[in-house]
Amino acid sequence: MIYNQREGKFEVKKGPIFANIILADEINRSPAKVQSALLEAMQEKQVTIGETTFNLDKPFLVLATQNPVDQEGTYSLPEAQVDRFMMKVSVDYPTKDQELEVMRRIANMQFDFTVNPVLTKEDIFSVRNQVNQVKMSESLERYIIELVFATRRPKEYKLDEQAQYIQFGASPRASINLNLAAKAVAYFEGRDYVLPEDIKEVALDVMNHRIILNYEAEADNVKTTDIIKVILNKIPITKF
């Protein structure tokens, strides 16, 4: 809200959140108040300013980076906010050839470039609809449920060793996003049906930020990815 001295009233000034793609660079350096402001936008696709609610333009996507090095001056993201991200993808150092390419491009950077669009909004909506049409069998749907429940009730799945490290298992958003991500993998592979391999391919990225470990896991240097890999090897795909 910005105060207009000439009119003598407050006016809404829309900020950078009113865009199709938002990049929150090093999101863990944003104060908690800024992070919490993203909750409504990411879930309800709307922003409330004062007494007025504004619907965000579609499509709406939030990307964020988080540097695991140099944690001084950072803020832990609330679990509710972390859970709203579909995936958490770990990006390692580039290969020698990749870094060579980056170095060459930066050294010869031209600032008079033009942006050539490759997709329209309508194209994105069309692809989204096609992904939604990808079929998933009931056995694979139930396989996803078993994977998620194994993080919540590990002892029921004979995962006693992993149970000692898990404080909280994955939320229902893990099931939802495993389903959607697996369908997307199948679509880009040129199939209209999901295979078990599609689910396993995205399981680490979809679930690794949704499992909260305890201090024992930190002491024993156990990572969420370690637990997910064990679950993927342990849980069978049962036909119904």
Q: What are the tens digits of pLDDT across the range 173-229?
A: 999 999 999 999 999 999 999 999 999 999 999 999 999 999 999 999 999 999 999
Measured distance CA(215)–CA(10) in Å, rounded: 48
pLDDT at 69 over 90: no
The pLDDT, as a whole number, for residue 115 is 81
The pLDDT, as a whole number, for residue 134 is 96
The pLDDT, as a whole number, for residue 4 is 67
> Are 88 and 208 a contacting pair, CB within 8 Å?
yes
Please name the residues in contact with 38: beta carbons below 8 A apart, sequence gap of 6 or more: 17, 24, 62, 81, 84
The CATH code that applies to domain 1-85 is: 3.40.50.300
> How is residue 76 annotated by DSSP?
P
The per-type count for the chain, helices as H runs and strands as E runs, is 10, 8
Q: Domain residue spans in the chain?
A: 1-85, 120-240
The pLDDT, as a whole number, for residue 71 is 64
* pLDDT tens-place string over residues 153-175: 999 999 999 999 999 999 999 99
Q: Is pLDDT larger for residue 45 or for residue 51?
A: 45
**Per CATH, which fold does 120-240 belong to?**
Helicase, Ruva Protein; domain 3 (1.10.8)
Calculate the CA 113 to chain-centre distance: 31
Q: Please, what is the average pLDDT of the chain?
A: 88
Strand pairing class (61-64; 21-24): parallel
pLDDT at 108 over 60: yes
The torsion of the CA quartet 36, 42, 44, 49, rounded to 10 degrees, works out to 50
The pLDDT, as a whole number, for residue 25 is 86
Q: What is the mean pLDDT of residues 56-78?
A: 79
The pLDDT, as a whole number, for residue 16 is 82
